[in-house]
Amino acid sequence: MKYFYTLALCLLISIQVTAQNQDGFYATMSLHHAKALAKDVPNEIEILSTFRNEAAVWMTQTGSHKLHDRILTHGPGYIYRNSQEEAVTAIQNPQNRLADNTRAALDFSITEDATVIPTLDLIQTQNIEDHILELENYGTRYHNRASATQAAVDLKTKWEEMAASYGRTDVSVRLFNHSNTQMPSVILTIAGAEIPDEYVIVGGHLDSTSNQGNDNAPGADDDASGIATITEATRALFEVGFVPKRTIEVMAYAAEEIGLVGSNEIASQYAANNVNVVAVSQFDMTLFNGSSNDVSFISDFTSGELTSYMMSLLDHYNASGEHQVTYSTSVCNYGCSDHASWTGQGYMAAFPFEANFGQHNGNIHSTGDMFSLTNTASHATKFAKLCAEFLIEVAKNNEVLAVNDVLASSIYVTIQDGILSYDFTASQKEVTSIQLYSIKGQEVYTTTTVSERDQVTLPTLSTGVHIATFNTENNTTPIVKKLIVN
């Protein structure tokens, strides 16, 4: 009798495990949300293990949709795990292991004014708008649809053509194929000229989802806006001729909406291979202006040190003037975007978000997440500027190979007693216009009347650093000089 009882019990456990593997998946998530979901739909989730404020769970697809609908308003709210063992092990390790991180420390300095300031003027809102509409036109980019894979393939081509149009032979683009989704991620790499083994990463997710049970998930804000934002920031870097010391990677993640699948696989592989990632920034939803401040830095499951640095970038470059960007902080939830995949592996990651959490776009995860609800990407443009500043300042300009420095050494420029004196005769470049900026990015002087050498009387300038930009013929790389007004 005991034998048959044991056999029946083993059979029951086997059936339960088989049912779990067939009907649901393993994940880690906030303990608070796990308990709320278990109370709401007890048959759709099983809490397997807990540690501090986290839970390892088994959950059905129905349960994940209920999590979206009733508990969360952004992101999947969980991180997909391959097995029960992986889920339980994951919560036993602190999610943000930055104190134990032996990878390279970030150089928290702001030194690249001569490159950043002209770059900000090159970022075009229309390019962001066009790209959002381009992605919206797929109808849906849900990870298991052919349209999602096609969006990734097309983005790879778009990025390759963009790099080629600027003659960037140091750029490559690849598809990253995944184990838990048929949709690939897309990774653009700008090879570091001096420290190629140190990586600076920006990313957003390419997939979209709708909780309304139909095929239409345009995902204009969530997250076509983020992909368009990082694309335009990268294009502006190409236009200004930026050559980084560190390697830059721009990532369009697959399958974020089903548990950060794409970014988690990438971050896990990078950590396993000891890839030296010094900083990561996530751009997930940049279109909707829902709060009094422009940018809301998410303060949970992010690096406080990196977040403070990004705030310093805004203080330095965007405190006032036409490039002004205001900011605040907010909290999200467990696994609310791909930054959590990187912090989970011990990397420094930050997440600048479109509004305070709860004041963001209420149409996400629905058929209503369309560009027509805003009709402008002006809010996203501010994030593109922050993205460009972040990449330039963290990757740093390669002073040996940068075209700007070579050209600048062949001209004479100075300011004294309100007179701008310049001499281009040795540069063998025809300069078509001159622009002068304050250190805060405000344009204080411009002229298109230019000769090889001249002296120009300027308006009254404040003391301090100013940036002079000399635009050359055929829109080639501008010559940039940093000048001190006493």
**Distance of alpha carbon 4 from alpha carbon 322, whole angstroms:** 78
Q: Residue 296 pLDDT > 50, yes or no?
A: yes
**pLDDT at residue 192 tops 80:** yes
Domains and CATH numbers, the chain: 2-92 (no CATH), 103-395 (3.40.630.10), 403-485 (2.60.40.10)
pLDDT of residue 51: 87
* DSSP letter (8 states) at residue 253: E
- Vertex 422: Cα angle to 420 and 425 (nearest 5): 170
Supply the pLDDT for residue 100. Answer: 40
Q: pLDDT band at residue 441, thresholds of 50, 70 and 90? A: low
Look up residue 56 and give its amino acid. A
Helix axes 225-240, 146-165, angle to 10 degrees: 10
Q: What is the average per-residue pLDDT within 393-407?
A: 60
Q: Is it the case that residue 18 has pLDDT exceeding 80? A: no
Question: pLDDT tens digit string along 257-267?
Answer: 999 999 999 99
Q: At 409, is the pLDDT very low, low, confident or very high (cuts 50, 70, 90)?
A: low
Q: What tokens does 244 get? A: 């980084």
Distance of alpha carbon 241 from alpha carbon 230, whole angstroms: 17
- Of 203, 214, 254, 213, residue with least CA distance to 80: 254
- Taking residues 317-331, report their average pLDDT: 94
Instruction: Write down the pLDDT at residue 448.
Output: 82
More confident residue, 298 or 442: 298
* Residue 299 pLDDT > 60: yes
Provide the pLDDT for residue 477.
58
Q: Could you give the CA distance from residue 154 to residue 366 in angstroms, rounded to a whole number?
A: 24
Quick check: helix, strand or coil at residue 277?
strand
pLDDT in tens, 76-101: 888 889 899 999 988 886 544 443 44
- Reported in sequence order, the residue ranges of 119-177 that DSSP labels E, i.e. its strands, are 171-176
426 pLDDT higher than 90:
no
Residue-wise pLDDT for 159-181, tens only, equals 999 999 989 999 999 999 999 99
Average pLDDT over residues 68-73: 66
What is residue 17's predicted lDDT score, i.e. its pLDDT? Answer: 41
The pLDDT mean for the chain works out to: 85
